[in-house]
């Protein structure tokens, strides 16, 4: 299996193939609107603004598995992110990143880049960096500020 075989669910409920992101550098993030790391949306948007034209795409996957920090509907989450942080990168339907209902994309990401003390995602704002060829090259902890990832993004662009 490769990342481009994964299907993801859009906010409207439709299924999208990850293959539409072939040739792009991806930063895949599980997010939450009521998390201590929520202000990272600002840094993510700055990276997106700076490097989108060069091929960076940030993929936002809201997740309510950690302390129920992503309450509300997909629409409410989208409104919050757009109004408070002015995000413009793609956001998808709320997902599970661990457990029996985990999204296949996250199952794949975790097999490619395991985590510290086990492969499960430990909290919101875990980030995966994927090369233009679809290789998962790095996994970043939730506390990693998006600006600390910039040098790695530049290498892949």
Residue 33: left if φ>0, alpha if ψ -120 to 50, beta else—which one?
Answer: alpha
In Å, what is the CA distance from 39 to each residue of 44, 51, 63, 104? 9, 20, 16, 27
Our answer to whether residue 63 is catalytic in this structure is: no
Helix (H) or strand (E) holding 146: none
As separate numbers, helices (DSSP H) first and strands (DSSP E) second, the chain gives 4, 6
How large is the angle between the packed helices 40-51 and 74-85, nearest 10 degrees?
80
Q: What is the CA radius of gyration of the chain?
A: 14
Q: Which of 6, 35, 63, 81 is catalytic?
A: 35
In Å, what is the CA distance from 150 to each residue of 2, 10, 47, 131? 25, 27, 7, 14
| Residues with a known catalytic role | 35
């Amino acid at each position: 299996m490769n990342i481009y075989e994964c299907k993801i669910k859009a906010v409207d409920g439709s299924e999208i193939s990850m293959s539409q992101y072939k040739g792009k550098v991806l930063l895949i993030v599980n997010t939450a609107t009521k998390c201590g790391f929520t202000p990272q949306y600002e840094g993510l948007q700055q990276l997106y603004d700076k490097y989108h034209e060069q091929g960076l795409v940030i993929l936002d996957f809201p997740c309510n598995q950690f302390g129920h920090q992503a309450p509300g509907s997909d629409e409410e989450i989208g409104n919050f992110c757009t109004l408070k942080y002015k995000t413009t990168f793609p956001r998808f339907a709320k997902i599970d990143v661990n457990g029996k209902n985990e999204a296949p994309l996250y199952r794949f990401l975790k097999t490619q880049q395991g985590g510290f003390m086990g492969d499960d995602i430990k909290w919101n704002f875990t980030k995966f960096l994927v090369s233009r060829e679809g290789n998962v090259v790095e996994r970043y902890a939730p506390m990693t500020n998006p600006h600390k990832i910039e040098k790695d993004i530049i290498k892949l662009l």
